[in-house]
Amino acid sequence: MTLLQCGAHKVDLTRAAIMGILNVTPDSFSDGGAHADPVSAVARARQMMEEGVSIIDVGGESTRPGAQAVSVQEELDRVIPVVERIAKEIPVPISVDTSKPEVMRASIIAGAGLINDVYALRAPGALEAVAAFDVPICLTHMQGEPRTMQIEPHYTDVVAEVADFLAIRVKAAQAAGIARCRFIIDPGFGFGKTLEHNIALLRSLKVLGMLGLPVMAGLSRKSMIGKTLGLPIEQRLHASVALALIAVQNGARIVRVHDVAPTVQAVRMWEAIEADRRV
């Protein structure tokens, strides 16, 4: 059994954990602005808890392709009041989606129990910031940077290259003093990847599992659905649930999603059937 100790909360990864996305940005990829103020953010967090969420991922900087960077102060102003209120009012572990060491530090002090860094602690000072605490850290693969990453991504062997990158980042983080039991790894669907790269990674997700660490997958509403089905963001619910389930079937232990209730139902149903398997 794998237990992730997320600050005051434990997350049991025997069952797949459903991470609910809570964007507190005015410009996010798929729900921009809806939960930018702390009161509506907390209301949404409470709703996700009622829907069976395992972890709530608060993000104050949009990482969508082409998004603008925000200042440290702006990100702190967006994220910290929300983390403080959720930590006080709602008994669910909080993750903070950030690459900035100042935001990592302040978030953990405010009550966050996990750091989700799509830069995999490559920002100056990020390794040290996380090493100073004892919360889990999700390391994600990204080729390039958000502003330009979708311009002609290229790999010789995407699965091997993503696995190598993650192994190197885990090593760097361990060298900085972060214990192995704290890592989560994520192939970073859509982060400098074409549809074909994303498909190859999802099919071979078990290869990443061979690193011996819990795997996270974020596929919710992403462009691979738009490219495959020709659907706009607001019509990607059903395919998002299907992709989350495929990720869990291929070994993902955490799925990061916008639509908590349908994903919880799909994943728990599959797990109930798996638990009953005779062969």
The DSSP annotation for 82-148 comes to HHHHHHHH--S-EEEE---HHHHHHHHHHT--EEEETTTT-STTHHHHHHTS---EEEE--SS-TTT
Phi, psi (5° rounding) for residue 116? -115, 100
Stretch that binds ligand 8Y7, among 86-94, 128-136, 182-190, 269-277 (CB under 6 A): 182-190
Write down the catalytic residue from 44, 105, 222, 253. 222
H or E stretch at 20: strand 17-23
- What is the helix (H) or strand (E) element at residue 247, kind and residue range? helix 237-249
60 touches ligand 8Y7 by CB under 6 A: no
Chain Cα centroid distance, residue 132: 21
Residue with smaller CB distance to ligand 8Y7, 111 or 146: 146
Least gap, CB of 272 to ligand 8Y7 (angstroms): 26
Stretch near ligand 8Y7 under the rule CB under 6 A, chosen from 70-78, 85-93, 215-223, 262-270: 215-223
- Measured at CB, which residue is nearest to ligand 8Y7? 218
Q: Rule CB under 6 A: is residue 29 a binding residue for ligand 8Y7?
A: yes
- Asked if 97 touches ligand 8Y7 (CB under 6 A), the answer is yes
User: For residues 136 and 139, what is the distance between their CA atoms, to the nearest angstrom?
Assistant: 10
- With binding defined as CB under 6 A, does residue 133 bind ligand 8Y7? no
Exposure string for 60-86, b = 16+ CB within 10 A, e = fewer: bbbbbbebeebeeeebbebbbbbbbbb
Q: Which of 54, 63, 240, 263 binds ligand 8Y7 (CB under 6 A)?
A: 63
**Contact residues: ligand 8Y7, CB under 6 A:** 29, 59, 63-64, 97, 116, 118, 138, 140, 186, 188-189, 216, 218, 222, 256
Q: Which amino acids are annotated catalytic?
A: 222, 256
